Structure 1
């Protein structure tokens, strides 16, 4: 990430603290090729959601996967982010950066990113999300927010990649009782600590049944990628707009501090342009 990218990040973070009440007006579909690469200095079409503490989201110079900087996310007990105004505001405990553009359905995308999880991150029997692809509910048709169609969860020390789908056009009712189907496509005890873990996701969003989710992982210092998931079938919701990616921390309010680092995020429709393109060979 170069100096231009850092300035854009700091500006974006400051603006989000004052404009969060209006959420993020994501109205565009992703172009045919949508690439966001920190190393190339591109940090537009992103927004943040956090408690706007000085420590919430920082540029990190020491723990870096490639280049000169990564992003450091931190959340402490009571760090609530409010969507909406006053008493009607919906509070959640998160520090995330998210795309403001959408993927297209029935289209192949490749996502890559690197995660560093420090030892201080405490295992717990409560929700902790460390990266998610979120759907955009059709609110103009009475639809409600739902669980993400693809998510990385960490609970009781177990790392799980879970996907959901639903072919119904409009889902209504209690969010906690949504009727979407779900499946864990990868789950293992533990997550590597104090080292970088590289991920490459090949995803084709298709609630119709022609979807793909292939996941490749490399745990440094090992230089070899391993395929850890190979799913074919429906993935995503029957929405007007496709999913968008969010990375960082999203959790329940718990009495300890969580920190995580992300680097090298990119989304592309051209796998030959991946930084970690060797994952696919």
Structure 2
């Protein structure tokens, strides 16, 4: 006897097949819509992250930012950090030339009121035991005589090891009144200290520097705190320093170049210009 429901079941099954495909199509469409929505959300979130990062960068004041300028710094790494009090006169760059000026009160928060500065610090770390050549032009602008107790215009600053107290630079071009002085420091100990650091004054001008004049400076240096270091300094082709012996600190990471005006607080403004800086391995 035939099943009276057979035709119905067959018909019902035939009726259900399109619905199954419809369900699959609808399900696929919903899944695709979810993927598109998720992608849109991810894209939106990604944009949000980019916007947040851009806003965060904008929130860092330019006088404390890290920048890159291959025209200003010619070498393996043209990146540098700007360090000044954020005043409009502190720092200006045009092409391969940079101008630095400090006035009374131009101090960074960590310096207190006893120090004033407008400098840049390069990101390039000089490798220990490797010779380097640093060349640049320097001009001190006309102005009132320098009365700061101490001042550096250029320095190669060390990178203290973890847990080691900071130390003064192993190389510096200083101003003593209106005269240029070139000094170094060295300490062969694994952990340096003021008590074990040797200070060496290699050269001091016999007469005041000429303001408004561009000087061409050339430095050849290799740091070697154990005694195998050397330093040669030339100004306008004339050799001012020719030294061989202990130089620098026994640090894991090598030192880096800084230029600008860094001084003990003083009553008068002081401005210097630098241009055509190049840092190359010897």
User: TM-score w.r.t. structure 2 length?
Assistant: 0.71
Aligned to 2:164, which of 122, 127, 143?
A: 143
In the other structure, the counterpart of 2:216 is 198
Structure 2 segments unaligned to the other structure (5+ residues): 1-56
In the other structure, the counterpart of 2:184 is 163
Cα distance change on mapping 1:41 and 1:134 into 2, 3 Å: closer
Aligned residue-pair number: 222
Q: Which has the higher helix share?
A: 2
| Matches of 2:172 and 2:59, distance apart in 1 | 27
Per-residue deviation, 1:253: 1.4
CA offsets per residue over residues 90-137 of structure 1, 9 Å max, x none?
Answer: 664110011112101111100001111122052225111111110011
In the other structure, the counterpart of 2:106 is 79
**SS, match of residue 200 in structure 1:** strand
Q: Is the 8 A contact 1:133 1:244 kept in 2?
A: yes
Per-residue deviation, 1:59: 2.4
Q: Is the 8 A contact 2:231 2:241 kept in 1?
A: yes
Question: How do 1:7-22 residues align onto structure 2 when only pairs under 5 Å count?
Answer: 17=61, 20=64
The structure with the larger Rg is 2
Per-residue deviation, 1:171: 2.6
Cα distance change on mapping 1:41 and 1:236 into 2, 3 Å: closer
Cα distance change on mapping 1:40 and 1:212 into 2, 3 Å: closer
| Matches of 2:58 and 2:108, distance apart in 1 | 14
In the other structure, the counterpart of 1:116 is 139
| Matches of 1:167 and 1:40, distance apart in 2 | 31
| Matches of 2:78 and 2:60, distance apart in 1 | 13
Q: Please, which moves more after superposition, 36-45 or 258-267?
A: 36-45
1:103 aligns with 2:120: no
Per-residue deviation, 1:234: 1.0
Structure 1 segments, 4+ long, off by >6 Å, are 39-43
Per-residue deviation, 1:181: 0.4
In the other structure, the counterpart of 1:131 is 154
| Matches of 1:69 and 1:269, distance apart in 2 | 20
| Matches of 1:203 and 1:268, distance apart in 2 | 11
Q: RMSD value over aligned CA atoms?
A: 2.7
**SS, match of residue 116 in structure 1:** strand
User: TM-score w.r.t. structure 1 length?
Assistant: 0.72
Q: Is the 8 A contact 1:116 1:194 kept in 2?
A: yes
Question: How do 1:1-281 residues align onto structure 2 when only pairs under 5 Å count?
Answer: 17=61, 20=64, 38=72, 44-60=78-94, 69-83=96-110, 92-124=115-147, 126-138=149-161, 140=162, 142-172=163-193, 177-188=194-205, 189-218=207-236, 225-270=237-282
Cα distance change on mapping 1:40 and 1:109 into 2, 3 Å: closer
